[in-house]
Amino acid sequence: MHRTLVNAALALALTAGLSPAVFAAQPKEQNGVAYINGGVGQDEQNAMRALKADYNLQLTFATKQTGAYRSDVQLDIADAKGASVLSVANTGPMFFAKLPPGTYRISAAAEGKTFKRTVKLGNGAKEMTLHWENDSPDDPGVQE
């Protein structure tokens, strides 16, 4: 049933002249936090980049050695007190969220490796790229 609805919506978007990339980059919301997820293929990456300025947390997931992007990441974001803010499966390669200013703990997991990062967000954008093969999964401390 869900697949049928998704296919119907995609067909409608294509009929209306919208590219699949624009359709895929539509904002979603969880716990009052707006986010977009995608970036598979050049068209979708361009669509995501066009919306980038609206989001203060901008994550990219990659495999550094091959240069390939990842789209299989379980992403969990908690506030400074440990309360879950976002939990999204199959994220990547690009994930943008608009979070209230504050400190957040990011957990990004794939292939048995979990990255932990703490980030302090204000009104400006914070960009982070996690490279599965070369970056340490350990939290280096608050990144401002």
Q: Could you state, in order of their start, the residue ranges of all structural domains in the chain?
A: 21-143
- Rounded CA-CA distance 6/101 in Å is 34
- Rounded CA-CA distance 8/144 in Å is 42
Q: How confident is the model at residue 121 (pLDDT cuts 50, 70, 90)?
A: very high
The residues that bridge with 35 in the sheet, in sequence order, are 28, 97
Checking if the pLDDT of 142 tops 90, the result is no
Taking only the tens place, the pLDDT of each residue in 18-52 is: 444 444 568 899 999 999 999 888 898 899 999 99
Checking if the pLDDT of 11 tops 70, the result is no
Contact 57, 99 (CB under 8 A): yes
- Rounded CA-CA distance 42/24 in Å is 13
If one looks up domain 21-143 in CATH, what number appears?
A: 2.60.40.10
Taking only the tens place, the pLDDT of each residue in 45-102 is: 899 999 999 999 999 998 876 668 888 999 999 999 999 999 999 999 999 999 999 9
